Amino acid sequence: MQITFLGHSGFTIQDGKTNLLIDPWLSGNPLAQTKPETLSPTLILVSHGHADHLGDAIEIARNSRAKILGVFELANFCPQKGVETHGAKPGGKIKFDFGWVKLVPAIHSSSFENQYTGAAVGFLINIGGKLIYHAGDTSLTREMKTLGELYEIDLAMLPIGGHFTMDSEEALTAVKWIKLKTVIPMHYNTFDLLAQDDLKLKQEIESQTATKCRLLSPGEAFGY
Ligand code: NI
Ligand code: MN
């Protein structure tokens, strides 16, 4: 399995023929190194409607014919733009050839072009025998503790930028609650408002928990 950080909250997870794309905001992203036309996903997961998450998803879906998976209202909004979707709701598990994706709670808002696009969610992704949690945009929430109790999560992508989501200090608490093997911080340093000291967070996580903190630069990939 290969995981690539695209910048902000964007990732690809490739396992054999499966190529998942999550929250692909590339055009207009000051740090992104990847051009949308170079991506050929088999499924696109979008956590909520905000432009820094829906991003280039519709254009990429049109070009690749991959479906967009998101919350029901967001999924109903996308076909107006000429793409196919899977719509679900928090708690819903959608099965695929590679495994499954479950929509999990996030505490955030969600809209696009002044339209309401449902609840913001995170994703629990079962792929390649691993369980991966992409938290989307969210505050620290006790739901994370529940996820840690119910599931053995291998890897989590957690927002740490503050202002629109939880910050580094709360991400440290989230890591303690979820009890995961590896964490990748996301949604920070994209612009000044989201400035965070990721090296300090890595040091705190690795000295206070058994979790490894992986810091990725936009465009960086690693085998998992
Ligand atoms: Ni947002
Ligand atoms: Mn965001």
Q: What's the 35 CA to ligand 1 centre distance in angstroms?
A: 22
Percent of the chain with pLDDT over 70: 100
Q: Where are the domains of the chain?
A: 2-216
Q: What's the 43 CA to ligand 2 centre distance in angstroms?
A: 20
Q: What's the 16 CA to ligand 1 centre distance in angstroms?
A: 31
Where does the pLDDT of residue 81 fall: very low under 50, low under 70, confident under 90, or very high at 90 and above?
A: confident
Tell me what pLDDT residue 67 has: 98
Q: What's the 53 CA to ligand 1 centre distance in angstroms?
A: 7
Using one digit for the tens of pLDDT, what is the confidence trace for 167-209? 999 999 999 999 999 999 999 999 999 999 999 999 999 999 9
Ligand nearest, relative to CA of residue 49:
1
Q: 29 versus 113: which is more confidently predicted?
A: 29
Tell me what pLDDT residue 19 has: 98
Distance CA 22, CA 126 (A): 14
Q: How far is CA 158 from CA 38, 172, 178, in A?
A: 25, 10, 11
Using one digit for the tens of pLDDT, what is the confidence trace for 25-53? 999 999 999 999 999 999 999 999 999 99
Tell me what pLDDT residue 80 has: 84
Q: What's the 177 CA to ligand 1 centre distance in angstroms?
A: 23
| Domain 2-216 coded CATH 3.30.1330.10 | no
Q: What's the 114 CA to ligand 1 centre distance in angstroms?
A: 13
Q: What's the 91 CA to ligand 1 centre distance in angstroms?
A: 20
Residues sharing a CB contact under 8 Å with residue 156, sequence separation 6 or more, in sequence order: 132, 133, 134, 135, 174, 175, 178, 180, 182, 183, 184
Taking Cα atoms as reference points, which of 121, 148, 125 lies closest to residue 135? 121
Helices 198-208 + 168-178 axis angle, to 10: 30
Distance CA 224, CA 4 (A): 10
Q: What's the 137 CA to ligand 2 centre distance in angstroms?
A: 6
218 token code pair: 């936009």
Ligand nearest, relative to CA of residue 121:
1
Q: What's the 56 CA to ligand 1 centre distance in angstroms?
A: 15
Q: What's the 29 CA to ligand 1 centre distance in angstroms?
A: 14
